Structure 1
Amino acid sequence: MTGDQRGDVVVVGGGVIGLTTAVVLAERGGRVRLWTRDPVERTTSAVAGALWWPYRIEPADAVRGWALRSLDVYEELAERPAVTGVRMVEGVVGETDLDETRGWTAGRVPGLRASAPHEYAGQGVWARLPLVDMRAHLPWLRERLTAAGGRVEERTVTAGFPEADAAVVVNCTGLAARDLVPDPRVRPVRGQAVVVENPGIRTWLASTAPDGTKAYFFPHPDRLVLGGTADDDVWDTEPDPAEAEAIVRRCAALRPEIAGARVLEHRVGLRPARDAVRLERETLRDGRVLVHNYGHGGAGVTVAWGCAEEAAGLASA
């Protein structure tokens, strides 16, 4: 490592966690390079439905703080939705208790109330939450990073990150951390979604049936994202036509107009699940600092800014 590299930070991973972490580090004065295997538009984050809500992520106490800090940021970004891709949208989280939700959100979620029978047939919570259009948000994060002096490079790494020629390396590799750390506690949870033309739906809904199957729809101005699945330890990234039909059918049972919507796209993503998010610092044998920030399951968007700020603090400790 040369002298002019010792002040550098290499963030490995170009999804929402890596991009957000790189932005925070660069805006705090770091000389940041973001290494990503794929263009940010082709990362797992690009597939996300991207509603702000903790989903399949632990530990709960830490997640609460990370999520609420991220909510603060998203509310600000929602003032410029056409630029940032973030909008505040109303909808229902089904099979959710109002008092429990009020407890963990500490009064921070706007418009929180029990859903009415005409809004949802079961028990649910009505809320106004950030809904993120990842087609716009990921490129916006990349532009914000470069505006702060950071660089984005399409690079690959091997186990232990020996290629990362910087004093500080931040591991935001998601599911790839299973091999790169290596960490066998990271595992895939397969999610499939169907994108259709939006037939005029303006609110979102996330529901879980008694048999455990899930249905959600997230409205964007020109399309509707329908889901979904949560298949543990499944690595297949090819869309399943039968599952796609089932997703549309479940969503249409909630909003009949979805049944006739034209299908635009099929998506599959592998959520990087772990029994708990790994957000910690270690010193490698060669003296480099390695900060881990991975294992966010289905809630990367939800906790991105809170985790990024904590990771940046660890990087400079």
Structure 2
Amino acid sequence: MDYVAIIGAGVSGLTCGVVFAERGYRTAIFAKETGQQTTSGAAGALWFPYDAEPAERVIPWALETYKALVDLSREARAGVSMIELRQFSRAGEIEIPDWAIPLGAQAVIPSPSTSPRAGSAQRSLESFKSGFSLRVPLMDTTIYLDYLANRFVAAGGSIAANVQFKQLEGVDRKFDLVINCAGIGARELVQDLDLEPHRGQVAVVPSIEDFSCAIVCDDVPLMYAIPRRNDCVFGGTNDISSDLA
């Protein structure tokens, strides 16, 4: 097996590309969108096993990814850093996941500041009932996507943009392996009608002074605030949608 085709140029597609190209495979990525036009370009993007099943398979995969990202965080140009994540609940006691305990997760008791200098974000902590914190990798996709793309091309890979396959059979038969990283595009690509789109909305604002940890609350309404190197990402939504655009 020599030739590998990857459909999709988000973080998943580019990462697969790097893995294969750096091991000597002749690897090509085909994608409708690239760079900041991909879904990955709008991601926060924290490492955290979220909304994925079955847990007995997902968690071991996620922990392998964690180790790889920790290694990347030591490489300044990668756009990966370690950040404190504070996960809260408004509804009641939040349980620390078993997988998070070996990573150093600790319970956090929300305690809003009474200082007149405290910002509204600090004072709003009173709406949370419980929480936990741990350090996790943060991928600044304004940097990380370009890092992966450059690393892939440097290893001999190629990226073809503005390419959309209607079905896998449209891929040139010279490729011995085709890897599907099309995201929601796989619904049509491989006729996987179990895939459903979720609408997500974020707001990207200039960086905020003294805001150094990520805050996430999964209770309805979902909210998160994630500081990055040059800006902050606020969200969000996770609504089932019929819009495949």
TM class, shorter-length: 0.7 to 0.9
* 1:105, distance to aligned residue in structure 2 (A): 3.6
Corresponding residue to 2:44 among 40, 49, 55: 49
For residue 262 of structure 1, what is the aligned residue in structure 2?
none
Name the SS of the counterpart of 2:170 in structure 1.
Answer: coil
Alignment of 1:160 with 2:144, yes or no, is: no
Corresponding residue to 1:32 among 27, 38, 46: 27
* 1:71, distance to aligned residue in structure 2 (A): 0.4
Q: CA distance change for structure 1 residues 114 and 73 in 2, over 3 Å: closer, same or farther?
A: same
* 1:106, distance to aligned residue in structure 2 (A): 5.8
Question: What one-letter code is carried by the residue in structure 2 that aligns with 1:226?
Answer: F
* 1:87, distance to aligned residue in structure 2 (A): 0.8
Alignment of 1:175 with 2:184, yes or no, is: yes
Alignment of 1:189-268 (within 5 A): 189-200=198-209, 201-209=211-219, 212-235=220-243
Alignment of 1:135 with 2:133, yes or no, is: no
Distance 2:22 2:223 in 1: 38
Return structure 1 stretches of 4+ with deviation > 3 angstroms: none
Q: Can you give the 5+ residue segments of structure 1 that lack an aligned partner in the other structure?
A: 1-5, 238-317
- TM-score under structure 1 normalisation? 0.67
Alignment of 1:78-157 (within 5 A): 78-81=73-76, 83-95=77-89, 96-98=94-96, 101=97, 103-105=98-100, 107=102, 109=103, 111-118=104-111, 120=125, 121-154=128-161, 155-157=163-165
* 1:232, distance to aligned residue in structure 2 (A): 0.7
Query: Which string of whole-angstrom CA distances, capped at 9 and with x for unpartnered residues, describes residues 140-186 of structure 1?
Result: 00111112111111222121332333121111111001111111011
Distance 1:128 1:149 in 2: 34
* Contact map agreement 1:64 1:105 (CA 8 A) in 2: no
Q: CA distance change for structure 1 residues 143 and 234 in 2, over 3 Å: closer, same or farther?
A: same
* Contact map agreement 1:190 1:236 (CA 8 A) in 2: no
Task: Give me the identity figure in percent.
Answer: 33
Q: CA distance change for structure 1 residues 94 and 34 in 2, over 3 Å: closer, same or farther?
A: same
* Contact map agreement 2:21 2:155 (CA 8 A) in 1: yes
Name the SS of the counterpart of 2:179 in structure 1.
Answer: strand
- TM-score under structure 2 normalisation? 0.86
* 1:29, distance to aligned residue in structure 2 (A): 1.8
For residue 66 of structure 2, what is the aligned residue in structure 1?
71
* 1:135, distance to aligned residue in structure 2 (A): 0.8
Count of aligned pairs:
224
Question: What one-letter code is carried by the residue in structure 2 that aligns with 1:37?
Answer: K
* 1:68, distance to aligned residue in structure 2 (A): 0.3
Distance 1:208 1:38 in 2: 29
* 1:208, distance to aligned residue in structure 2 (A): 3.3
Name the SS of the counterpart of 1:204 in structure 2.
Answer: strand
Name the SS of the counterpart of 1:143 in structure 2.
Answer: helix
